[in-house]
Amino acid sequence: MSAFLVDPDHIRQLIAFCAKDGMNSNTAEATAGVLARANLESIQVRYPTSWEGFLEGRGETAEGYVELCKKPARRDMGVTLADIAGMIHCFEYQCDESKGWEKSLAKAECENIRYRLTSRLRQVGQADAYWEYSPGTVKDRADKIAAEMKKQAASFQDGLRKAEAEANKLT
C-alpha cells in the first residue's frame, strides 16, 4: 500500500462541508486537527525515514501542517456531494497505515462526515433514495417514474394540440 499527505485544502473542504451542516467553529477546528494528525501519523508509519519530505510546501513542520488544516476554507470551491464522498474515501485510504486507525477518533470523525453526507443526500432531491433495498422498492420506484412520465407525456400532447389549433387559426 501507499499513502500521501492530503493537501490542507482537502481537509478544509471536508470541514467546510460539516460547517454547512451545523458544525460549530470550535468543533470544526478541533476536527481538522484530528484529521491532520491522523494523516501525519499514517505517513510517519508508512515512511518512517522520509515522512518529513511530504511536508514541503505544506507547513514545513508537522505542527505547521496541522495549523494550515485548521484554518477555515478560503471559499466555497464548488465541491459537490459526490466530491465529498470521494474525498472522504481518499482521506481514509491515506490514513489507514497506522495501527490504531480502525478505533481512532479520526476514523470516527470520517464516519460522522459520511453520515452527514448521507443525510444531506436524502435532503437534496434524493429523498426517495433507498433506505432498505428489496425488489418491491425497485418496482415501486419504477411505477412512480412511469406514472410521472405518462403525466409529462400527456401534458406535452396537450400542449402540442393547443399549438396545432393556434397554428390552424393563423392559416
Q: Which range among 5-19, 34-48, 143-157 shows the weakest confidence by mean pLDDT?
A: 143-157
> Do 115 and 138 have their domain in common?
no
What is the value of pTM for the model shown?
0.71
Asked if residue 104 and residue 47 are part of one domain, the reply reads yes
In a domain, 3, yes or no: no
pLDDT computed for residue 125 by the predictor: 60
Instruction: Read off the C-alpha cell for 67.
Output: 495549523
pLDDT at 75 (0 to 100):
67
pLDDT of residue 22: 85
Do residues 17 and 33 share a domain?
yes
Of 95, 62, 77, 101, nearest in space to 15 by CA:
77
Q: Is residue 148 part of a domain?
A: yes
The average pLDDT across 10-33 equals: 90
**What pLDDT does residue 72 have?**
84
Summarize the confidence of residues 89-116 as an average pLDDT: 93
In whole angstroms, what is the distance from residue 171 CA to residue 157 CA? 21
- What single DSSP character describes residue 52? G
85, 42: one domain: yes
Closest of 124, 150, 146, 128 to residue 137, by C-alpha: 128
The larger pLDDT score, comparing residue 135 to residue 92, is at 92
Same domain, 20 and 93: yes
Based on the domain organization, do 18 and 37 belong to the same domain?
A: yes
Q: Are residues 73 and 107 in the same domain?
A: yes
Look up cell 393547443; give the residue: 162
Residue 120 grid cell: 444531506
Q: Centre a 10 Å sphere on the Cβ of residue 4 and count the other Cβ atoms it contains.
A: 14
> What is the number of structural domains in the chain?
2
Q: What is the pLDDT of residues 117-134, one digit of tens each?
A: 988 887 766 555 555 556
Q: Once rounded to an integer, what is the mean pLDDT over residues 38-45?
A: 95
Question: Which domain does 55 fall in, by range?
Answer: 8-123
Q: Which residue from 52, 51, 60, 58 is spatially nearest to 97, judged by alpha carbons?
A: 51
> Would you say residue 47 has pLDDT above 80?
yes
Provide the pLDDT for residue 137. Answer: 63
What's the pLDDT score for residue 121? Answer: 81
Could you tell me if 67 and 149 lie in one domain? Answer: no
**pLDDT score of 128:** 55
Give yes or no: residues 12 and 91 share one domain: yes
Residues 112, 62 share a domain: yes
